[in-house]
Chain A
């Protein structure tokens, strides 16, 4: 029944034996106890379970854990690796881009992938890119604002000459 898999999760290699039918989201939440990835709809609509699969956002409720064998997963818990908040996390707080917090991890993972691909998105581009994630609290206004703010922040950080950041 069990099938061995080895997955690199947030930079760490982990091995497990899983039933083929185990959904990736359950592997992440129940086996790895990374509960920042949420389940909202079961039918691939809400995006609360969004994680990065080899760097690309996927809905982890619509993949099997066995499909992740040999792959890289990134969950919300990796965003503040090293302790410092990622600019996207900081911007979601700063711009009030979250209320109940349930869709937030998925939203941030989609935003992360967007900014990696398009560091300077327009408001329209942000709305388009986030349209696979449903939020019921914010009306999306401040989420869009947060992603814009994060983009500006990341651009500024990138513009700092390499040596300038050392010693701080």
Chain B
């Protein structure tokens, strides 16, 4: 398994990168962590003529919470997310998901932004971002635009990102009130893609749900946002009845397909069970528990 030939570019600034992407158009492909792209090149499932390696562009790997927004640079690596104490305390869904992406060595290299741009429906970050109601900053030579996570994914490995655009930043509304979150992933072994995973992000006010975000992994053509389940929780105390209702709605929102990982009914049930468990875990965390 060896890649076909390609041209390699290693720009040092965002401007240089955008210029290159603009010139190369469909022929160019951005290389971030490369943990999905390079295996695809080796299998020759993808053979772009040009690779634009953004790893030498400074400033793309930052994370900061300011002015009501959590900003995550596109080159922020899974491992950094896994280790961040700020994320663990304020955005547990991110920290918990980060530790379950691929395996520890892949996490050293893989990036949050690269994973989102790759848009594997079994990828973990899409669901997390849907639960967090994130938006993505897409930059091109001609300007920048922001796209909501729910509008970003358009199918398997398919997004709103244009060939001349670079996903530079992820913006997440800063956590407010008592926040909890959880990422429950059923994988057959470490390094496997999810059979099913559920991302939950919860903000509580006076014992009631101020807002709930629920993202679903590997149960549709893209990562899904369980909007009806989210809506059903809003403004309610998070009791068993509310949790069960949301779990049923999340399961109904799932569009799983049977494969070697399991039947449609099985996956739908795991969505239900994980939504229940995820909401309970998030509730504990919002209360200041583990």
Contacts and interface: CB of A to CB of B under 8 A. Distances in A.
Interface size class on chain A is 20 to 34
Contacts of B89: none
A57 B105 contact: yes
A43 interface: yes
Nearest to A1: B5
A62 interface: yes
Contact of B104 (A19, A67, A129): A129
A20 B3 CA distance: 10
B6 A56 contact: no
Interface in A27-47: 42-45, 47
A59 B105 CA distance: 7
Contacts of A121: none
Contacts of A61: 42
A132 B106 contact: yes
Contacts of A128: 104
Contact of B1 (A20, A42, A69): A42
Nearest to B38: A62
Nearest to A62: B38
Contacts of A21: 2-6, 41
Contacts of A59: 105-106, 109
Interface of A: 1, 3, 19-21, 23, 42-45, 47, 50, 53, 56-59, 61-64, 66-67, 69, 110, 128-133
Given A44-B35, A131-B191, A132-B191, 10 more contacts: A20-B5, A21-B4, A42-B1, A57-B105, A62-B34, A67-B53, A67-B55, A128-B104, A130-B104, A132-B103
